[in-house]
Structure 1
């Protein structure tokens, strides 16, 4: 973690405390910090800054001279609709998308999503994975995460209201590459920032089936590919979202 994020209740005036076991272990074992050292800290849904360690015990680290003056980085104007992946992959993806600054994440059912994934205890730990991603990306504002267990009703009844701009489907058999898609949009755009879509659909292992792609296309989504290689879901997500960072 590149900063220590704490809830608002852990702050009082210019002091604060760390009481989460994982954070205490990180300060002790990874940072090797001692009383008098300065830490990068932030308040969840607040600002970033620094604090000085004033006391340390196995159960709590006390902080003084807390100075939170830096606003968190802006979110990407982006919603990622992700077919619910395998539980072990879910943790990495939530962390990565959070660290990259995705504003909204929608976990959706798909034909290739196994029903057992929706009973995974990992879904009860999303806040934990978000915190890890925020601390990695030095951010304080969590993405909004929602669960959609029914693909067809979501696409037919809710998608149109959520599409504030264009939407693309990451699909290895799409007619256009992402580069070609961007070149087409640039022809009539005032700036590169305005051509990026506001929504990206990414399938789980095995991708989307033709029926799903066709349903999304009827709502105005464009299928695009990112090359000849078939990538794992987490590799595809990071490759695509890198375009927004650039």
Structure 2
């Protein structure tokens, strides 16, 4: 069994014993049923990870921090996924798998054809839920840095905040540059931004906005991929083709 890992965004001083945050303590003692003396791994999302021994003092879960491991499990390059908001709970799947595949940033976009429409308290709850999904995925897959999820935004907001056109790849099934050919011609790039529409795709107006702001339309394979598949498939392809894994 792999050593249980917990995201713990608090100071983690070596050779000291700290009280675990309530959510971590509950997960360790109630959900996983860990016992006194079990080895655990803590990481703060900034760098490396800390190996510790689980202790219980007056019913309070504690961690005696033993040593630090600077090893990271990040891609050699940076991948950002711009994801048109899908229906239902598909975003949970996308966040979980994007984290496992090494995506550093995920930008959810309320597209014109997005079926789901999130506002107010409902949006706040969903955004908080997405953060928890990303944390859980990071704990499971061995990454010491949590996938960063930006606030849900319009496509116009994304374009305004990201004016540089370099390596913005508009994933579209109808025409465009072949992804493999595009990457082979650019062996030295270090960042890629993949832009994926919702179930109904980007509207003509959105496509025009993206292209006018430097996004290059690309294709990958001869089949049409679902929104929850496209970004993940292209992330894996880019990582392999660029030898970033």
| TM-score for the superposition, normalised by structure 1 | 0.78
The equivalent of 1:83 in structure 2 is 84
Q: Normalized per residue, which structure has more helix?
A: 1
2:49–2:71 contact (8 Å) kept in structure 1: yes
Shift of 1:11: 5.8
The equivalent of 1:68 in structure 2 is 68
CA distance in 2, matches of 1:68, 1:16: 15
Structure 1: unaligned runs, 5 residues or longer: none
Shift of 1:168: 0.6
Structure 1 consecutive aligned stretches of length 4 or more whose deviation exceeds 6 Å: none
1:10–1:17 contact (8 Å) kept in structure 2: no
User: Is residue 136 of structure 1 aligned with residue 137 of structure 2?
Assistant: no
Which deviations, in whole Å up to 9, do the C-alpha atoms of 1:162-213 show, x marking residues without a partner? Answer: x4x3211111113333223334x2xxx4xx3x24652110111122233322
CA distance in 1, matches of 2:127, 2:158: 19
CA distance 1:85–1:54, shift in 2 (3 Å): same
Aligned with 2:220 (options 220, 223, 226): 226
CA distance 1:241–1:40, shift in 2 (3 Å): same
The size of the alignment, in residue pairs, is 234
The equivalent of 1:38 in structure 2 is 39
The equivalent of 1:166 in structure 2 is 167
User: Is residue 209 of structure 1 aligned with residue 237 of structure 2?
Assistant: no
Which deviations, in whole Å up to 9, do the C-alpha atoms of 1:79-98 show, x marking residues without a partner? Answer: 22111222511222222223
Which deviations, in whole Å up to 9, do the C-alpha atoms of 1:56-88 show, x marking residues without a partner? Answer: 78x642222432232433454122211122251
Greater shift, 123-132 or 14-23, is seen at 14-23
Residues 99-118 of structure 1 correspond to what in structure 2 (within 5 A)?
Answer: 99-114=100-115, 116-118=117-119
Aligned with 1:18 (options 5, 17, 20): 20
1:86–1:117 contact (8 Å) kept in structure 2: no
After superposition, the CA RMSD in angstroms is 3.0
Structure 2: unaligned runs, 5 residues or longer: 241-245
Aligned with 2:153 (options 120, 126, 149): 149
CA distance in 2, matches of 1:222, 1:170: 9
2:84–2:111 contact (8 Å) kept in structure 1: yes
